[in-house]
């Protein structure tokens, strides 16, 4: 935490609003509901590090490497009440983003995607997608995001004990040395319907000013507010804010 605050001060950013989630706070969305009570910090969000045009803000989320139960550390997950999009960048570490969407009944998921990403990758949450971020690396995961103003809906994730897939540690068999760790995605049985998970990788999206790679940090967009306009006037950009335009299936 010291680190982010120090970097923010050095870069002349705003003093952020810091919020933390403990392991107990996360209990409603864990696969394993028997996790013992704990006040230890699970992840930290630094909000409002930058605010552009009074309505688009830049936050950083730090998700330490930790396995609770058999799950990789993850954010609580939410939908955006206004269905507005969001732009993420991985600053450090290795992430898996789970994106999910329903048509009318939130217990019946119609689309589910996983996007694995590392430093410099940009990941967009298209309008209407619920999402959560998972630290699947060996170190702390730091994510930056730009998002327009609007409320979050956490209840839909809470009601079903998490996202539509759990991201779990799958230990390799002892025969291979036992040191390797692998990832498995398990359907969350609390949903009535969950489609097969599709794996995607981010593409550049020139129409949205998005370029992958470490040379183009999204923080620089604060100097080009026009390139952030799609985060608030997203109806205008509906044809660009599609899974097909933003991602490539792998």
Which spans of this chain sit near Fe ion (rule: CB under 5 A)? 86
Distance CA 98, CA 104 (A): 19
Q: Is the dihedral of CA 180, 172, 115, 200 positive or negative?
A: positive
Q: Between residues 71 and 86, which has the closer beta carbon with respect to Fe ion?
A: 86
Q: Between residues 84 and 212, which has the closer beta carbon with respect to Fe ion?
A: 84
CA 190 to chain centre: 21
Q: How far is the CB of 123 from Fe ion (least distance, A)?
A: 11
Q: Between residues 38 and 159, which has the closer beta carbon with respect to Fe ion?
A: 159
The closest residue (CB) to Fe ion is 86
Q: How far is the CB of 152 from Fe ion (least distance, A)?
A: 7
Residue at token pair 């999009």: 85
| CB-count burial class (<10 Å; 0-12, 13-18, 19+) for 160 | buried
Q: Between residues 86 and 116, which has the closer beta carbon with respect to Fe ion?
A: 86
Distance CA 76, CA 30 (A): 9
Distance CA 9, CA 2 (A): 11
Q: Between residues 35 and 152, which has the closer beta carbon with respect to Fe ion?
A: 152
Q: Which tokens go with 141?
A: 């995961």
């Amino acid at each position: 935490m010291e680190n982010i605050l120090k970097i923010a001060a050095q870069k002349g950013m705003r003093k952020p609003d810091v919020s933390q989630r403990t392991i107990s706070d996360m209990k409603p969305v864990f696969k394993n509901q028997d996790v013992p009570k704990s006040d230890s910090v699970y992840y930290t969000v630094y909000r409002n590090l930058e605010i552009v045009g009074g309505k688009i803000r830049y936050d950083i989320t730090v998700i330490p490497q930790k396995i609770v139960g058999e799950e990789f550390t993850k954010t609580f997950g939410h939908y955006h009440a206004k269905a507005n999009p969001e732009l993420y960048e991985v600053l450090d570490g290795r992430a898996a983003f789970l994106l999910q969407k329903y048509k009318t009944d939130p217990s019946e998921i119609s689309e589910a995607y996983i996007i694995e990403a590392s430093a410099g990758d940009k990941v967009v949450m298209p309008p209407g997608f619920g999402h959560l971020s998972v630290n699947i690396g060996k170190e702390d995961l730091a994510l930056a995001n730009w998002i327009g103003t609007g409320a979050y809906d956490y209840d839909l994730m809470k009601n079903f004990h998490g996202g539509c897939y759990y991201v779990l540690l799958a230990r390799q068999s002892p025969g291979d040395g036992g040191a390797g760790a692998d990832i498995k995605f398990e359907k969350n049985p609390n949903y009535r319907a969950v489609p097969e998970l599709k794996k995607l990788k981010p593409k550049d999206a020139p129409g949205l000013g998005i370029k992958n790679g470490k040379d183009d940090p999204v923080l620089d967009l604060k100097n080009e507010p026009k390139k952030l306009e799609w985060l608030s006037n997203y109806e205008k950009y509906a044809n660009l804010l599609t899974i097909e335009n933003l991602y490539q299936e792998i």
